[in-house]
Structure 1
Amino acid sequence: MTAATQVLPVCGPRIEFEAINLELGRTRILEQVSFSVAAGSVHAIVGPNGGGKSSLIKTLLGQMPHQGRLAMHWPSEREVIGYVPQALEFDRGLPMTVDDFMAAMCQRQPAFLGLSKRVQPAIEAALTHVGMLDKRKRRMGALSGGERQRVLLAQGLIPEPQLLVLDEPMSALDEAGIRVFEHLLASWRRSGTTVLWIEHDLEAVLRLADRVTGLSRRVLFDAAPAQALTPERLLGLFSVHPRSESLA
């Protein structure tokens, strides 16, 4: 089979958002949001601050109530979701090392007892993937913002996800970290992992995403990057006032 005709494996789910409405109190956050995410694809969501991107992700993760239909079609009985938040809020004075953080996030055994032998190989592999294995004994508070973001990426890899939800993962990364992220994105695509990716770096989205949804409370476009990220569409997306409406 030639490279041109090779079919990549798919382990991630197809996701369908259908007429999603989200209201908090008397404020409308999302209105009639409908689009689908292809299984095994890298699907980016772009839009202005306050446009509902993170709220949509929280809806997907079951953290916010909504109206409408949200369905995930998994290819097998194994259903593993990884999540990488935009930032990590914590007391930087805490004597918590990278190993401590990974233990707290990735194992049932209390972190103060050290890494569990069951998850230690996976944690070491994840830290190696993001280039942080040599800093595993450093305090989290002593890391740069980009290094902490790499650790967040590492915890999202355990257990190996079929669906990976990323909330602006590139926001704090330096050039080396961006190269790490792009390498990871390529490996997720090869493995057929579904990636739903909120991102503000439109140039990165144009290069790396399979499809892009423009969201400003409503879906303003949903297309391949070359068709979606045109000056006219971006002007319409970012010129629309994104602040959620108060219900009458």
Structure 2
Amino acid sequence: MIEGISIEVKNLSLNISNNQILENISLNFEKGKIHAIIGPNGGGKTSFLKCLLGQMPYKGEILFKYEDKDKIGYVPQTLDFEKTLPITITDFLSMCYSKKPAFLSPNLKKKELFNEILEEVGLKHKEKRLLGNLSGGELKRLLLAQAINPRPNLLILDEPFAGVDTVGEQYFLNTIKNLRDEGITIIWIHHNIKVAREYADTITCIKKDLKFQVNKDEEISNERLLDIYS
């Protein structure tokens, strides 16, 4: 079992160019659980994740309870790159895992590692495929592969199903559940509250401030959701 990371957020606020993105958010994420974050578009969900990752100049406190050896994995909503560049899956993994330049062929040990990584996400035998020729689902699986190898103690997912078909979405859901069963803490932005209820342990709603944080079995009225999403 992996020891997940727990997080305590205290009075987190984010103001950019006099635009209040987040305001006085306080909450806790328990270790070893799936925490789904929901809310309307533009409500600050991705900005909240970027605060957790230290990419935004927030005010307040974010307290991680972790050991020095602990790792954080991150799957962004999109990956911006020039699709005409001749970068293969192997090149991408070499940039992630090798110390030598990616244009040099990986040694046998690295090839074996890459095969294991790609097999876990269903991309084995596609190592020579160009990144620009991958489908949205294949690219997301590749991003997931580099985020969970080696296993992180905390995995942060920003809309991992964007551009993924139904089969790919089910694959992601099964993988996320298995990672939680290994003890990993998962924070996951998702737009579908029905799916969040089925797979997550807690559901957190953010719309500038914290609207609610509940266990998946707690009732959330339709009127409350309508007020948030309207």
In the TM superposition, 1:77-88 aligns within 5 A as 77-88=68-79
Partner of 1:3: none
Corresponding position: 1:113 with 2:108: no
Query: SS of the counterpart of 2:96?
Result: helix
Report which stretch shifted further, 85-94 or 210-219. Answer: 85-94
Out of 103, 106, 123, the residue aligned to residue 114 of structure 2 is: 123
Q: Normalization by structure 2: what TM-score? A: 0.93
Partner of 1:51: 43
Corresponding position: 1:181 with 2:172: yes
CA RMSD of aligned residues (A): 1.6
Corresponding position: 1:24 with 2:7: no
Superimposed CA distance per residue, residues 121-156 of structure 1 (whole angstroms, 9 cap, x where no aligned partner)? 443222111101121111111111111111111111
Query: SS of the counterpart of 1:23?
Result: strand
Corresponding position: 1:101 with 2:92: yes
Corresponding position: 1:39 with 2:31: yes
Q: Tell me how far 1:171 sits from its aligned partner.
A: 1.4
User: For residue 43 of structure 2, what is the amino acid of its counterpart?
Assistant: G
Superimposed CA distance per residue, residues 70-115 of structure 1 (whole angstroms, 9 cap, x where no aligned partner)? 00101x3322000000111111111111111122223332211133
Query: SS of the counterpart of 2:157?
Result: strand
Identity over aligned residues, as a percent?
Answer: 38
Query: SS of the counterpart of 1:156?
Result: helix
Matched-pair contact (CA < 8 Å) for 1:212–1:228: no
Out of 134, 138, 150, the residue aligned to residue 129 of structure 2 is: 138
Partner of 1:150: 141
User: For residue 8 of structure 2, what is the amino acid of its counterpart?
Assistant: E
Q: Normalization by structure 1: what TM-score? A: 0.87
Q: Tell me how far 1:24 sits from its aligned partner.
A: 1.0
Unmatched runs of 5 consecutive residues or more in structure 1: 1-8, 240-248
Partner of 2:62: 70
Query: SS of the counterpart of 1:102?
Result: helix
Superimposed CA distance per residue, residues 6-27 of structure 1 (whole angstroms, 9 cap, x where no aligned partner)? xxx4511110111101111211
Q: Tell me how far 1:117 sits from its aligned partner.
A: 5.1
Unmatched runs of 5 consecutive residues or more in structure 2: none
Partner of 1:196: 187
